[in-house]
Amino acid sequence: MTADEQSMRRVTAIRNGTVIDHIPGGMVLQALQIFNVDGRHSNPISLVMNVPSRKLGTKDILKIEDRELTQEELDRLALIAPMASVSIIRNYSVAEKLSIQIGDEMINVAHCIYSNCISNAEREPLPHRLKVLKTSPMTLQCHYCGRIQNLDRLVNNLL
Amino acid sequence: MNSLITMNDLTNDDIHRILLDAEKLLPVAKGNFHLPLLKGKILGNLFFEPSTRTRMSFETAMKRLGGDVINLGAVASSSVVKGETLHDTIRMVDGYSDIIALRHPRQGAAQYASDCAKVPIANAGDGAGHHPTQTMLDLFTIKQAHGKIEKLNVVLVGDLRFGRTVHSLSYALVRFGCKLTLVSPESLRLPEEIVNELKEQGGELTITEDLKPQLKDADVVYMTRIQKERFPDDDEYFRVAGIYKLVANDLASVKKDMIVMHPLPRVDEINPDVDSTRHAAYFEQAFNGVVTRMALLCDMLNVPIPENIGGGN
């Protein structure tokens, strides 16, 4: 059994739902935030944190039961886990394998880290837009103020 | 070109062309020749922050070309105090005018407005962000003095951290191969992200706190005011206020054609005795705001400028 398989079995297999593997170690709570899962009003959820990974050093795994995440929801994950691999599970089997698609822009995923940016003004209705300049390392720029975003700070600004 | 948000909206060729257009329009800007190229056009002047030169020169530029101007007026007496968003203000003025000049305290406001509007937006300053029309008039002033804007030694002095004027200008100067000497107290240095970007673009930069030794080799000395309004507290401001003061005696051994520029208003960074030296270019620079903005308004409204104006064949 490989280290990855061992990690996956730290929690029981799910019957139906979504399994997200290869989330960088320690980032799974932000992933939950991205999917608007608050832990009180949600389906059963299993988390695995900081297990060894050949690809990432350490990784997290997230299993959400009875909810199939859409491609649009998954693409928001590009902010913290662009390398994540996603399986849609139906009746204990992998029914679909999905990957994160990183487009040219992230719309309404997070708001600019600079408080004086116009996009942070109250009640302004246009969407929050972050341009993807590079994917490795992930480099994002606010469409409005043009400033490069610090990703550690940006994950605190998830919408 | 439609909107002018940052200097990245202009290619080097665009810049050269607009500077030539501005030169052609000089007799019109001085009022020696009447040329109503923008008759029937309306400029919406939206200044959410105080401005004298930029607002008035946009207004003069439009009127010299036969166009008209509507003003937001004081923010305190507009719908903004009732809580109107920038989005809604822009959508409204968009219907009243053919082009909008916008100054706003928040960075990114001009891009935001451009996304809301159908008419072109001229960024007249967005927070500590960009001020491209000021850059164009600065380049025009440099070209008038040196006959070119390429490969000059430019010394930028004062508040390089919050001063949007120097941010836009430094990007443009690096594009034209100018060597920049950045003189400021440590707390007011050009933001690191801008320094890195300028270096990536091949910029040759020297960073120092010492002004006087830089004067001898300079082609342009660009002074700026330390902006009290951008400091979070007075103590921090008074620690650096008045740190650089240029007096006429400092100019004794500078290059003959060196010019001293300043976006104005000045406080005490240029002594009035410099005004009467051959190097003082700041009042001419302020006038150049009119002629450069005339050229920009025509360009943004796709109105061609005739070859021979006033005195041509």
Minimal Cα distance from A142: which residue of B? B108
Burial of A16: CB neighbours in 10 Å, binned 0-12, 13-18, 19+: middle
Q: For B87, which of A112, A125, A146 is closest by C-beta distance?
A: A125
- Whether residue A10 sits in one domain with residue A80: yes
pLDDT at A129 (0 to 100): 97
For the segment B301-312, the average pLDDT, to the nearest whole number, is 84
- Whether residue B253 sits in one domain with residue B160: yes
Mean pLDDT, all residues of chain B:
93
A124 to chain B, minimum CA–CA distance in Å? 6
For the segment B224-237, the average pLDDT, to the nearest whole number, is 78
pTM: 0.88
Minimal Cα distance from B110: which residue of A? A144
pLDDT at A10 (0 to 100): 67
Q: Higher-confidence residue: A101 or B258?
A: B258
Closest CA to B6 of B104, B108, B143, B119: B108
Residue B312 lies in a domain: no
Please say if the pLDDT value at position B308 is more than 60. Answer: yes
- Whether residue A65 sits in one domain with residue A112: no
Contact A144 B111 (CB under 8 A): yes
Grouping H, G, I as helix, E, B as strand and the rest as coil, residue A20 is: strand
- The residue of A107, A118, A133 whose CB has the most chain B CBs within 10 angstroms, and thus the best one to mutate to test that interface, is A118
Contact B115 A126 (CB under 8 A): yes
Low-confidence stretches of chain A (pLDDT beneath 50): none
Lowest mean pLDDT segment, chosen from A66-80, B133-147, B205-219, B249-263: A66-80
Could you tell me the residue range of the domain that residue A121 belongs to? 105-157
- Whether residue A111 sits in one domain with residue A74: no
pLDDT at B311 (0 to 100): 58
Q: Domain holding B293: CATH number? A: 3.40.50.1370
B85 to chain A, minimum CA–CA distance in Å? 6
pLDDT at B195 (0 to 100): 95
- Whether residue B194 sits in one domain with residue B120: no
For the segment B100-109, the average pLDDT, to the nearest whole number, is 96
- Whether residue B260 sits in one domain with residue B136: yes
Lowest mean pLDDT segment, chosen from B26-30, B77-81, B139-143, B221-225: B77-81
Contact A118 B109 (CB under 8 A): yes
Measure the CA angle with vertex A30, ends A24 and A32; round to 5°.
110
pLDDT digits (tens, 9 = 90+) for B25-42: 999 999 999 999 999 999
Contact B112 A144 (CB under 8 A): yes
B98 to chain A, minimum CA–CA distance in Å? 22
For the segment B93-111, the average pLDDT, to the nearest whole number, is 97
User: DSSP assignment of A102-154, as one string?
Assistant: --SEEESSB--S-TTBGGGSTT--SPPEEEEEEETTEEEEETTT-PBPPHHHH
Q: Highest mean pLDDT range out of A142-156, B169-183, B219-233? A: B169-183
- Whether residue A89 sits in one domain with residue A19: yes
- Whether residue B177 sits in one domain with residue B81: no
Domain count, chain B: 2
For the segment B135-154, the average pLDDT, to the nearest whole number, is 98
pLDDT at B80 (0 to 100): 73
pLDDT at B115 (0 to 100): 97
Under 8 Å between Cβ of B122 and B100: yes
Lowest mean pLDDT segment, chosen from B40-44, B177-181, B239-243: B239-243
Please say if the pLDDT value at position B1 is more than 70. Answer: no
Could you tell me the residue range of the domain that residue B41 belongs to? 7-131+287-300
Is A124 within 8 Å of chain B by CB?
yes
Under 8 Å between Cβ of B289 and B268: no
Q: Domain holding A124: CATH number? A: 2.30.30.20
Q: Which of residues 49-78 of B touch A (CB under 8 A)?
A: none
Contact A146 B86 (CB under 8 A): no
Sheet of strand B179-183, all strands in order from the earlier edge strand to the far edge:
B204-208, B179-183, B153-157, B220-223, B259-261
Kindly report the backbone phi and psi dihedral angles of residue B69, in degrees, each rounded to the nearest multiple of 5, phi listed first. -135, 135
- Whether residue B251 sits in one domain with residue B229: yes
- Whether residue A69 sits in one domain with residue A26: yes
Cα separation, A112 vs A107, whole angstroms = 11
Q: Higher-confidence residue: A130 or B307?
A: A130
Domain count, chain A: 2
pLDDT at A97 (0 to 100): 95
- Whether residue B276 sits in one domain with residue B161: yes
Closest CA to B104 of B133, B75, B61, B78: B75
Stretch (H or E) spanning B164 = helix B164-175
- Whether residue A82 sits in one domain with residue A53: yes
- Whether residue B11 sits in one domain with residue B147: no
Under 8 Å between Cβ of B31 and B310: no
- Whether residue B147 sits in one domain with residue B121: no
Measure the CA angle with vertex B185, ends B179 and B191; round to 5°.
60
Contact B108 A118 (CB under 8 A): yes
- Whether residue B163 sits in one domain with residue B123: no
Catalytic residue numbers of B, as ranges: 53-54, 82, 103, 131
- Whether residue B201 sits in one domain with residue B59: no
In the structure, what pLDDT confidence band is assigned to residue B118 with cuts at 50, 70 and 90? Answer: very high
- Whether residue A147 sits in one domain with residue A92: no
- Whether residue A87 sits in one domain with residue A48: yes
Cα separation, A43 vs A64, whole angstroms = 7
Please report the sign of the dihedral spanned by the C-alpha atoms of residue B134, residue B136, residue B140, residue B143.
Answer: positive
Q: Domain holding A37: CATH number? A: 3.30.70.140
Closest CA to B46 of B93, B2, B98: B93
- Whether residue B136 sits in one domain with residue B119: no
Lowest mean pLDDT segment, chosen from B185-194, B245-254, B282-291: B185-194
For the segment B113-128, the average pLDDT, to the nearest whole number, is 96
Q: For B86, which of A116, A124, A145 is closest by C-beta distance?
A: A124
Contact A116 B128 (CB under 8 A): yes
Bond prior to A137 in cis (omega within 30° of 0):
yes
Under 8 Å between Cβ of A22 and A4: no
Please say if the pLDDT value at position B282 is more than 60. Answer: yes
Minimal Cα distance from A145: which residue of B? B108
Residue B313 lies in a domain: no
Amino acid, single-letter form, for residue B187: S
Is B83 within 8 Å of chain A by CB?
yes
Residue B240 lies in a domain: yes
- Whether residue A92 sits in one domain with residue A130: no
Please say if the pLDDT value at position B313 is more than 70. Answer: no
- Whether residue A112 sits in one domain with residue A84: no
